[in-house]
């Protein structure tokens, strides 16, 4: 039985897996100690839970548990990585390289550092969302200390050539950080295989609870250090003070363990479903896939529908929770900066939908999404004078619209 509305916005957040919830529950009531209380069994039990979770998180990304610093989520991890490296390596240089398509947690952190004297280069991506490696090579200077490039994009799912990017950074003596929020638990993100020095991840994108994340900080070859951004009792090897969120950490650990064991089968199932959804929607005339088709996450797709008005489209698919290409803030309807970076015009950027599938998504839900989306697009086009003109073969670009 189909339960409406259906949820296809799993890039934004995922539901907590019932097995994760079961692992967490005892830590709210029975094992409620503070993991930093070293004088009694309540604290020891809590600490055991944290230690085990730290191993589970480390195992998912091929790290050692000593390299995992718990944070409140990927936004904090990105802040700690970028600001922490900027302060720690200030004597070496002040130049940071990132992409225009990064998450705001990276872009706004870089903007903040620019006010403090950092020099930041924001590289453009190609029309398929991938970074041109020659552009990266050309941007590096003697004072470059950090290259920060996301593993997989949150809007279009495109996976960057991480191994090659890391190698270029290292060749020039810079560190490499990746915001792997969308990728961890969905695809292989082994830190040694890819040559990653710092990696941000969070639990709520992989069926864990919200409000808990981690930063991987490499301990050898090279040994990376970051300056703490939150001061206090020196928790997390002095890099991140604050009482640990024990239930959240335990849930995060369990989510990582499940991802490590089930990621392959999830990806195989979801990519088939995603392709079915995508191919059906691309049967509509003037519909376009955003981002590279071959290098991307298995569970998401981003499609633009020409001659459709963005807000109308979101209202038309009201029984499907998806995200739109227009990040609607109350005052402005700005089209997505990620889609603009790919070279899409405002109209196409506005009329895009991002579908994110999960391990709980069913074939029935995909059928419903296909039908409702197609219906909404066709209905909106019937109401559009531009669509009528397009169908009559009028070149809309050649029209000089009257000023009024």
**Is the per-residue pLDDT at 244 higher than 50?**
yes
291: nearest Cα among 234, 321, 336: 336
Q: Which of 110, 256, 300, 328 is catalytic?
A: 328
Domain annotation covers residue 205: yes
DSSP for 318-360?
TTEE-EESEEE-SS-EEEPHHHHHTT--HHHHHTEEEEE--TT
- Based on the fold, state whether residues 99 and 149 are members of the same structural domain: yes
**Is the per-residue pLDDT at 137 higher than 50?**
yes
Domain annotation covers residue 390: yes
Write down the pLDDT at residue 203. Answer: 98
8 A C-beta contact, residue 99 and residue 150: yes
Domain annotation covers residue 402: no
Q: For 121-130, 135-144, 329-338, which range has the lowest pLDDT when averaged over its residues? A: 329-338
Write down the pLDDT at residue 230. Answer: 96
Write down the pLDDT at residue 310. Answer: 83
Domain annotation covers residue 401: no
Write down the pLDDT at residue 1. Answer: 82
Residue 226: pLDDT band (50, 70, 90) is very high
End residue of a domain, out of 211, 237, 259: 259
Write down the pLDDT at residue 247. Answer: 98
Rounded mean pLDDT, 233-261: 97
Write down the pLDDT at residue 309. Answer: 85
Write down the pLDDT at residue 330. Answer: 40
Write down the pLDDT at residue 76. Answer: 98
Arithmetic mean of pLDDT over the chain: 95
Domain annotation covers residue 231: yes
Measured CA to CA, the distance from residue 225 to residue 239 in angstroms comes to 9
| pLDDT higher at 322 or 400 | 322
Residue 397: pLDDT band (50, 70, 90) is confident
Measured CA to CA, the distance from residue 181 to residue 203 in angstroms comes to 9
Write down the pLDDT at residue 145. Answer: 98
Per DSSP, the three-state class of 308 is coil
- Based on the fold, state whether residues 209 and 115 are members of the same structural domain: yes
**Is the per-residue pLDDT at 46 higher than 80?**
yes
**Is the per-residue pLDDT at 333 higher than 50?**
yes
Residue 253: is the preceding peptide bond cis (ω within 30°)? Answer: no
Rounded mean pLDDT, 73-78: 98
- Based on the fold, state whether residues 122 and 193 are members of the same structural domain: yes
Matching residue, tokens 């070293």: 38
Which residues, in sequence order, are bridge partners of residue 296?
A: 158
Measured CA to CA, the distance from residue 62 to residue 188 in angstroms comes to 9
**Is the per-residue pLDDT at 312 higher than 80?**
yes
Domain annotation covers residue 221: yes
Rg of the chain over all Cα atoms, to the nearest angstrom: 23
End residue of a domain, out of 200, 228, 259: 259
- Based on the fold, state whether residues 209 and 300 are members of the same structural domain: no
Which residues, in sequence order, are bridge partners of residue 187?
A: 184
pLDDT tens digits, residue range 258-290? 999 999 999 999 999 999 999 999 999 999 999
- Based on the fold, state whether residues 378 and 331 are members of the same structural domain: yes
- Based on the fold, state whether residues 30 and 47 are members of the same structural domain: yes
- Based on the fold, state whether residues 225 and 113 are members of the same structural domain: yes
- Based on the fold, state whether residues 88 and 237 are members of the same structural domain: yes
Write down the pLDDT at residue 326. Answer: 58
- Based on the fold, state whether residues 229 and 289 are members of the same structural domain: no
Question: Number of structural domains, the chain?
Answer: 2
Print the domain residue range for 144: 18-259
Write down the pLDDT at residue 325. Answer: 66
214: nearest Cα among 33, 376, 391, 54: 54
Residue 349: is the preceding peptide bond cis (ω within 30°)? Answer: no
14: nearest Cα among 281, 247, 299, 271: 299
Measured CA to CA, the distance from residue 281 to residue 317 in angstroms comes to 13
Write down the pLDDT at residue 331. Answer: 46
Domain annotation covers residue 404: no
Query: What's the pTM value of the predicted model, to 2 decimals?
Result: 0.96
**Is the per-residue pLDDT at 329 higher than 90?**
no
- Based on the fold, state whether residues 234 and 101 are members of the same structural domain: yes
End residue of a domain, out of 234, 259, 284: 259
Residue 61: CATH number of its domain? 3.40.640.10
- Based on the fold, state whether residues 289 and 156 are members of the same structural domain: no
**Is the per-residue pLDDT at 136 higher than 60?**
yes
Domain annotation covers residue 1: no
Write down the pLDDT at residue 347. Answer: 86
Per DSSP, the three-state class of 262 is helix
Tokens, residue 400: 């000089």
- Based on the fold, state whether residues 67 and 207 are members of the same structural domain: yes
Measured CA to CA, the distance from residue 157 to residue 210 in angstroms comes to 21
Residue 364: CATH number of its domain? 3.90.1150.10
300 catalytically annotated: no
Listed in sequence order, the residues at least 6 apart from 285 whose beta carbon sits closer than 8 Å to its beta carbon are none
């Amino acid at each position: 039985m189909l339960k409406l509305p259906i949820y296809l916005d799993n890039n934004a957040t995922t539901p907590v897996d019932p097995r994760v919830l079961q692992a967490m529950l005892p830590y709210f009531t029975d094992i409620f100690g503070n993991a930093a209380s070293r004088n009694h069994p309540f604290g020891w039990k809590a600490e055991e839970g944290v230690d085990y979770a730290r191993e589970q998180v480390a195992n998912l990304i091929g790290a050692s548990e000593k390299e995992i610093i718990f944070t409140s989520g990927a936004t904090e991890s990105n802040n700690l990585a970028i600001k922490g490296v900027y302060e720690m390596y200030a004597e070496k240089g002040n130049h940071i390289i990132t992409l225009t398509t990064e998450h705001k947690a990276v872009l706004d952190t870089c903007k903040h550092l620019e006010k403090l004297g950092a020099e930041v280069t924001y590289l453009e991506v190609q029309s398929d969302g991938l970074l041109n490696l020659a552009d990266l090579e050309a941007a590096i200077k003697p004072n470059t200390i950090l290259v920060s490039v996301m593993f997989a994009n949150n809007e279009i799912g495109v996976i960057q050539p991480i191994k090659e990017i890391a190698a270029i950074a290292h060749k020039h003596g810079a560190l490499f950080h990746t915001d792997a929020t969308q990728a961890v638990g969905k695809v292989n993100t082994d830190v040694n295989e890819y040559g990653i020095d710092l990696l941000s991840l969070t639990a709520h994108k992989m069926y864990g609870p919200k409000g808990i994340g981690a930063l991987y900080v490499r301990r050898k070859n090279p040994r990376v250090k970051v300056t703490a951004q939150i001061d206090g009792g020196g928790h997390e090897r002095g890099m991140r003070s604050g009482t640990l969120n024990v239930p959240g950490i335990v849930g995060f650990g369990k989510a990582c363990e499940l991802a490590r064991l089930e990621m392959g089968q999830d990806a195989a199932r979801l990519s088939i479903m995603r392709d079915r959804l995508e191919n059906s929607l691309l049967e509509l005339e003037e519909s376009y896939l955003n981002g590279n088709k071959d290098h991307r996450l298995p569970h998401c797709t981003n499609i633009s529908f020409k001659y459709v008005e963005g807000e109308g489209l979101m209202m038309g698919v009201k029984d499907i929770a998806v995200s739109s290409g227009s990040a609607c803030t109350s005052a402005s309807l700005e089209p997505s900066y990620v889609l603009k970076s790919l070279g899409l015009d405002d109209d196409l950027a506005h009329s895009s939908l991002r579908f994110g599938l999960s391990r709980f998504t069913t074939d029935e839900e995909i059928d419903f999404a296909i039908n409702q989306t197609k219906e909404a697009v066709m209905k909106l086009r019937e109401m559009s004078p531009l669509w009528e003109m397009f169908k009559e073969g009028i070149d809309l670009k050649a029209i000089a619209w009257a000023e009024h």
